[in-house]
Chain A
Amino acid sequence: MNEFTGIVSGFSVCCMLQLLIGIPVAAGLLLFLVPEKYLNAKGIAALLVNLAVFCLALRLFFSSGLMSAGDGNAISGCIRISAGAVASDASRYIIFGIDNLSRLIVAAAGFFAFIISLYSLVYNKINKVRNFNSWFLITVGCSFGALLSDNLLLFLTFWGILGITLYMLIPGRNEESSAAAKKTLILIGASDSIMIIGIALLWWLTGSLSMNSISVPTDNTPGALAFLTLLAGSFTKAGAFPFHTWVPDYTKDAPASSSSLLPASLDKLLGIYLLARLTRDMFILSQWLTFLLLLTGVITITGAVMMALIQHNYKKLLGYHAVSQVGYMILGFGLGSPIGIAAGLFHMINHAIYKSGLFLAAGSIEKQTGKEDIDDLGGLSGAMPVTFAATLVFSMSISGVPPFNGFASKWMIYQGIIDFGNGPGFVNQLWIVWLGLAVLGSALTLASFIKLTGGIFLSRRKQEFSGIREVPALMWIPMAVLALLCITFGVLATNLIVPKLFTPVSGDFVFTGFWDSTFVSILVLISILLGIVIYLVSGLKRFRREDSFIGGERIQDQAAYPTPEYYKTISEMDFPAWMYDKAGKKWFDIYDLSRRFVLWLSRQFSLAHDGVLSGYALWVFAGLIILLLVMI
């Protein structure tokens, strides 16, 4: 299963990899020296660096000639420091490599970094995070570092730095946001520490730290343990159950540019990248681990989307969806078949596109209105047409409406699950469960996004929003670009996108069901056109116009009917009511559970420390006596 296709030792690629990591980190460190009052200059500098890095990443992506030059698994130390013996020893650890998988994700990461830094040029003026641009660039550089490292220790170092930047990209000036920042770094840092165990176990099992050369079976305890500890790192970064709880808290309080950079795009890319490495290259999955992966996948999908349904804060709602969508990617990789892997990767890229777009839209709305609750908003479609159109596209994509990109990747995942059902194991026999829950999750996603777009953009505009305008061009252009990408990726899915981008990583596969995305899109377009024609030709224009009413009564301005109220029913049903109750008490929050336990234990120990000297002296003697008794 070890298919690092085309690892290179050529100088030019090596040089490119170093630049890719070095430029943003160095630029980020330099920007610390520039005072905060030159915010514009810092923003532009960061944008230029991101553009340069994006170009470099693209060049790396398209230089397939260079890729094939490598001979199979040959990999060499890519860093050359002329410092004699010291460096030659260090080069055992500092090893970078690139293959089709990392090439794809690097290009995607470069793209998102560029788009989001374009957006934050204007946006950052209202939402000040100290040294935003520096931390942004360090994040980008370290993400590349993590994606390109071959040595596991080097990988872990870059991976860990990303936790710090995540912490630094949230301002923390009030109780809620500082609590969210703390929780985030504790969870991320904890998973990094846990990963050390996995890496040490791998080292002990194989004697190697190179991702490229490891292939460990998981039917024995150390192998399975190593897999699970590394999986914890991947799940925490990507935000999957049960380590997901930082995502909604973080997105609720962080500025939109931070949310769309890390939890929405780069953290997903990285977490899923690690998952791909684990399942594709480093481990051979046993039946039980496959079962575990698929189970967490469907729990993540349905649990998080249920939580999203009852949210009133739109940024938190998006946060829950950022968790829920990860479930689909996990399903894809859990299947392990080429179509599953391709679908998982495709969904990862799609998700990054529409979710970062949604966070940017959320940021725009917040900037223009200053409101964070869906209940307080409404009727903004006329005032902010581009944001509305983009949000509509993103919403339909994430809900899996054809012909947008979310549908394409979800369709591939369903195909993969159905294929998977032909296998012999007990996990395969349960295919209908996986499929049913995945589809259910998709339906609930649609429901929750109707609430989001309906609540914010439709219904009546409130008096206080009469002066609202569209955001500046620098802010809507990134959203428009992302929305267009959603459509392109959806329409051209089967003809261009999947064969060109994803099959090189996953290997070839055939679709069992017939589906040609372009053909379907044309059908959709034709039917819309037909509708318009019918509307224009038949005299449907002559209808009665009435003011909006509800329950037979005219709507008064005061009598608001916030869209989220319609979703109250769900929280009154038996099982969901129980679940929401427990979720409210934080039963599913691993962070809160362990916090309570640790503090309880801390109190028990503190009770013993009463400050009485004679007691302390007694301990000393008791300790000595115990030592003597034990030893002699």
Chain B
Amino acid sequence: MNPLIPLFVMIPLAGAFLIMITGRFAVWFGRYLTTLILTVLAAFSIFSLAVTGENTAVYKVGGWEPLNGIPIGIHMVMDGFSVIVLCIINIVGVLAALYSIPYIKRYTSENYYYSLFCLMIGGMNGVVLSGDIFNIFVFLEVSAISSYALVAFGVEKNELEASFKYQVLGALASFLILLGIALIYWKTKTLNIADIREVFSTGYDRTYYLFVQILLLGGFGLKAAMIPFHAWLPDAHSSAPSPISAMLSGVFIKAVGIYVIIRLFFNMFIVTENISILITVMGTLSMAVGVFLAIGQWDIKRLLAYHSISQMGYVILSTGIGMILIARGKSPEIAALAIAGGLFHLVNHAAFKGLLFFNAGAIEYSTGTRDLQEMGGLAGSMPATHATSFIASMSISGIPPFNGFFSKLIIIIAAIMAGFYLLAALAVVVSIITLASFLKFQRYAFYNKPENKDDKKNKEVPLPMVFSMVIMGILCILLSLLAFPGIRETILEPAINILTDPLKYSSLITGS
């Protein structure tokens, strides 16, 4: 029993309201309160990661105990999987908050920004911790609506247009999700994830079941920007202020998209072969099409945004392979390897994509442009940005010794072991094109033109921004340790166990 569970939601929500009130009188308040809140939450999440392991913790809101093994009331669940995503949210969150301090000074009404930021964090924490499907929806809306506002924060033409598209498609996603939830509630008379599984395991109407699965896959697939539901992402992620882009790309699509998909399809639905194949195909499509869209871009943030689609494709592809193997009921250790690869890549992606958006923001902050063709030779004038962006670029491209190499290695090896040779080959090809497009970024941003050290215009960004980037860069290197046997077992194994063994999850809640 971890007493911290409700605090992950309460603190940021309370903070958001406090900032709105006090921010009217003192502008600096929101700035530092947000950083403080996120620091505390990051510390909590690391602590939880350390203590959770195989011990799943359940917090019953209001103390409503299950009645005859049937859960009533709201459950918040912290297990090996959700704690990893919590760590991602809050650690990237604290760095983004720190990064925002100098960055967001260029905009007006800072306290709105910080308030929305806290709301978004609270919503995502809620989604990840929530043990029932309707609360997932509620918290998803909390975070999604604050993200709509944050995307439009620049209130220029582009930002508003992007935000509008994002809202329309986001609303569509919410509609699909809500419809799916309603249909589930109608049949099962319960909203608790573990309980729904219990009901489904006694028998179900196949068509109805599939229809619900597809509705939810479509809805959360929209949130996770899987192809063909990805169209909102490049606009939204590139128009937001850079720390928000980092949050959206590095965290948001994972917490409300990928996390929920994985959670629902492993722990709520019974894994079946045809839906796993569907998920794998969608993952493969996202991975392959996303990268081709990315390499042609000249706007740094659009390039990065398209790569988010492609990299999420890797995660989905790898977990999909795991699902297929589970559904076929053979070679569980390879299924575990595939899921481990997916989860590992999820964590890594948060680190390097967050960092890349920080870098893009730093370049924009310093040079005032996002167009690669207009910059060049920044290696001399922005050494910290250059070094960290190089680390991130090599990570995302899968070059050793950075973290992305190890997760891609595991994914490719798992694909070959499972017998999906073409998928493995495709993953390699996509990885090569990723490398090519990030070397394009490196070349046009940092090389290509003579350096000018005494350039008054292009100088290194303020210290908090550099600090965030350097910490992220160090994370990119340190996370590769997760690949090592020993460390992998202590952190990734509990998450894999909770996914591959659904009884483990449901028994905690229903108490059986």
Chain A residues engaging chain B, CB cutoff 8 angstroms: 85-90, 92-93, 130, 153, 156-161, 163-164, 172-175, 177-179, 181-182, 185-186, 189-190, 192-194, 196-197, 199-201, 203-204, 595, 598-599, 601-603, 605-606, 609, 611, 613, 615-617, 619-620, 622-624, 627-628, 630-632
Contact = CB atoms under 8 A, between A and B. Distances in A.
A613 B486 contact: no
A197 B424 CA distance: 7
Contacts of A182: 436, 439-440, 442-443
B416 to A, nearest CB: 4
Interface in B352-388: 377, 379
B436 A172 contact: no
Contacts of A199: 413
Contacts of A185: 435, 439
A161 B485 contact: no
A623 B443 contact: no
Contact of A90 (B214, B292, B379, B484): B484
B46 interface: no
A182 B435 CA distance: 10
A90 B443 contact: no
A79 B447 CA distance: 39
A186 B450 CA distance: 22
Nearest to B489: A89
Given A161-B400, A179-B443, A619-B231, A130 B165 contact: no
A599 B296 contact: yes
B202 interface: no
Interface in B276-317: 278, 289, 292-293, 295-296
B440 A624 contact: no
A197 B428 contact: yes
**Looking at chain B's contact residues, is the secondary structure mostly helix, strand, loop, or mixed?**
helix
B128 interface: no
B431 interface: yes
B198 interface: no
B218 A627 contact: yes
B379 to A, nearest CB: 7
6 A-B pairs with the lowest CB-CB distances in the bound complex, closest first: A86-B486, A616-B231, A172-B447, A602-B296, A160-B400, A178-B447
A272 to B, nearest CB: 21
A564 B277 CA distance: 62
A181 B229 CA distance: 36
A200 B436 contact: no
A173 B447 contact: yes
B506 interface: no
**Looking at chain A's contact residues, is the secondary structure mostly helix, strand, loop, or mixed?**
helix
B417 A203 contact: yes
B30 to A, nearest CB: 33
Given A85-B486, A200-B413, A616-B169, A193 B289 contact: no
Contacts of A87: 486
B295 A190 contact: no
Given A196-B428, A617-B172, 17 more contacts: A86-B486, A159-B400, A173-B377, A173-B447, A173-B449, A173-B451, A174-B449, A182-B439, A193-B435, A197-B412, A200-B413, A203-B417, A605-B292, A622-B228, A623-B228, A624-B176, A627-B278
A179 B408 CA distance: 26
B485 A93 contact: yes
Nearest to A628: B214
A182 B289 CA distance: 23
B433 interface: yes
B32 interface: no
A181 B398 contact: no
A174 B486 contact: no
B432 A623 contact: no
A186 B436 contact: yes
Contacts of A174: 448-450
B314 to A, nearest CB: 13
Interface in B390-438: 394, 397-401, 405, 408-409, 412-413, 415-417, 424-425, 428, 431-433, 435-436
Given A182-B443, A598-B295, A189 B424 contact: no
A185 B215 CA distance: 43
B261 to A, nearest CB: 14
B207 A632 contact: yes
Contacts of A90: 484-486
7 contacts: A160-B401, A173-B377, A182-B442, A189-B435, A203-B417, A605-B289, A631-B274
Interface centre among B169, B293, B439 (most CB of A within 10 A): B439
Contacts of B425: 197
Nearest to A611: B235
B443 A178 contact: yes
Contact of A163 (B399, B431, B432, B449): B399
Contacts of B486: 85-90
Contacts of B164: 613
A156 B487 CA distance: 20
B293 A606 contact: yes
A240 B232 CA distance: 45
Contacts of B168: 613, 617
Contacts of B169: 613, 616-617, 620
A237 to B, nearest CB: 14
Given A182-B442, A631-B274, A598 B487 contact: no
Contacts of B289: 605
Contacts of B424: 197, 200
A605 B377 CA distance: 31
Given A160-B405, A179-B443, A197-B425, A192 B207 contact: no
B17 interface: no
A93 B207 CA distance: 48
A157 B401 CA distance: 6
Contact of B399 (A164, A173, A609, A620): A164
Contact of B229 (A204, A606, A609, A620): A620
B275 interface: yes
A442 B376 CA distance: 43
Contacts of A611: 235
Contacts of B417: 200, 203-204
B487 A201 contact: no
A161 B405 CA distance: 11
B228 A175 contact: no
A620 B448 contact: no
Contact of B214 (A88, A163, A615, A624): A624
Nearest to B417: A204
Interface centre among A90, A92, A599 (most CB of B within 10 A): A90
Nearest to B168: A613
A164 B484 contact: no
Contacts of B278: 627, 630-631
Given A185-B435, A602-B293, A611-B235, A627 B399 contact: no
A611 B428 CA distance: 30
Contacts of B165: 613, 616
B218 A623 contact: yes
B107 interface: no
B222 interface: yes
B416 A200 contact: yes
Contacts of A630: 278
Interface in B220-255: 222, 228-229, 231-232, 234-235
B10 interface: no
B393 to A, nearest CB: 10
Contacts of B448: 172, 174-175, 178
A157 B377 CA distance: 30
A632 B211 CA distance: 8
B58 interface: no
B7 interface: no
A610 B6 CA distance: 44
A190 B431 CA distance: 8
B270 to A, nearest CB: 15
Interface in B438-483: 439-440, 442-443, 447-451
Contact of A598 (B292, B405, B443): B292
A153 B295 contact: no
B416 A201 contact: yes
